[in-house]
């Protein structure tokens, strides 16, 4: 019997390549990128695998840094639907709600993080900020004291306490905590800027200027110093419309931080 050849038609087009999640080295490189680049990258990673908790948390962090606080909170909450005990997601929920000025809605997540990780100072430090924002100062102080018991010289905790002191008008006490924070090797640029703020508001302009000029270009420093001069005049009642005796910490520090972005 003669053999019959079976013709096979060639495919009209190649199948599209399947895109895989980025490797560890690429992910690590994007951790050093700006917030916008990170938000795009981690959004793509999250789209590829919505069940990836790292992508969800990193995306939430980038969105928060871009000021998209509602989306950041929603993204972090999505992580908890698949990983209900994910501490990093709980922390991002708290940070997003604190940043949008609605800390009340982040307290539950932060308290869960505190209970899940009792030796982690971060939930306690953030809880202090959240409690302070919802006018629970005693609870805030208790949370910060508990955080310092775990990590006594942690700059972030000390800086949070100092910001609360500034909001209450206790500038000397704020300076004490910020000097302690700034002396730590892990102190951030924001800690040093907050120290300059506390010094400047007390009229210690020369030292404040010296700190600022180490970290910022001249035009930014000049702008900050002009803001400090105006602010101290308002506090002393020199201007026609003096500021309240103890301006809320969120108002003072938000205005100051906006100059340094």
pLDDT confidence band for 14 (50 / 70 / 90): low
pLDDT tens-digit series, residues 125-161? 999 999 999 999 999 999 999 999 999 999 999 999 9
pLDDT confidence band for 17 (50 / 70 / 90): low
What number is the average pLDDT over the span 15-38?
Answer: 81
Cα 231 to the chain's mean position, in Å?
25
Query: Which of 97-101, 103-107, 255-259 is the least confident region?
Result: 255-259
What number is the average pLDDT over the span 214-219?
Answer: 92
**Residue 207: left (phi > 0), alpha (psi -120 to 50), or beta?**
alpha
Q: Of 90, 50, 46, 93, nearest to 69 (Cα)?
A: 93
Neighbours of 251 (CB within 10 A): 12
Query: Which of 29-33, 52-56, 83-87, 236-240 is the least confident region?
Result: 236-240
Query: Contact, 55 vs 45, CB < 8 A?
Result: yes
Half-sphere exposure of residue 255, counting CA atoms within 13 Å on the CB side?
Answer: 15
pLDDT confidence band for 212 (50 / 70 / 90): very high
pLDDT tens-digit series, residues 175-202? 999 999 999 999 999 999 999 999 999 9
pLDDT score, position 66: 96
Q: Of 33, 107, 101, nearest to 70 (Cα)?
A: 101
Q: Of 115, 114, 95, nearest to 105 (Cα)?
A: 95
pLDDT score, position 29: 86
pLDDT above 50 for 43: yes
Cα 20 to the chain's mean position, in Å?
30
pLDDT above 50 for 243: no
pLDDT above 70 for 250: no
pLDDT score, position 112: 98
Q: What is the mean pLDDT of the chain?
A: 86
Cα 247 to the chain's mean position, in Å?
22
Q: Of 185, 198, 189, 183, nearest to 228 (Cα)?
A: 198
């Amino acid at each position: 019997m003669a053999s019959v050849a079976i013709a096979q038609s060639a495919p009209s087009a190649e199948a599209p390549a399947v895109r895989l999640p980025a490797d560890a080295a690429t992910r690590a490189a994007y951790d050093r990128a700006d917030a916008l680049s990170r938000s795009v990258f981690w959004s793509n990673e999250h789209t590829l695998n919505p069940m990836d908790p790292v992508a969800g948390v990193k995306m939430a962090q980038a969105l928060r840094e871009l000021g998209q606080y509602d989306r950041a909170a929603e993204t972090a909450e999505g992580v908890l639907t698949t990983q209900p005990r994910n501490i990093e997601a709980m922390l991002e929920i708290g940070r997003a709600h604190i940043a949008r000025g609605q800390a009340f809605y982040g307290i539950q997540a932060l308290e869960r993080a505190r209970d899940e990780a009792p030796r982690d100072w971060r939930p306690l430090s953030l809880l202090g900020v959240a409690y302070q924002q919802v006018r629970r100062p005693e609870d805030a102080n208790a949370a910060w004291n508990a955080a310092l018991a775990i990590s006594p010289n942690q700059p972030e905790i000390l800086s949070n306490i100092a910001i609360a002191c500034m909001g209450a008008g206790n500038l000397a006490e704020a300076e004490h905590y910020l000097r302690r924070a700034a002396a730590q090797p892990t102190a951030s640029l924001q800690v040093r800027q907050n120290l300059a703020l506390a010094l400047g508001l007390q009229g210690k302009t020369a030292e404040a200027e010296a700190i600022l000029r180490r970290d910022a270009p001249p035009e930014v420093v000049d702008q900050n110093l002009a803001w400090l001069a105006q602010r101290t005049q308002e506090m002393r009642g020199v201007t026609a419309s003096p500021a309240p005796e103890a301006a809320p910490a969120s108002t003072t520090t938000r205005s100051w931080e906006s100059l340094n972005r």
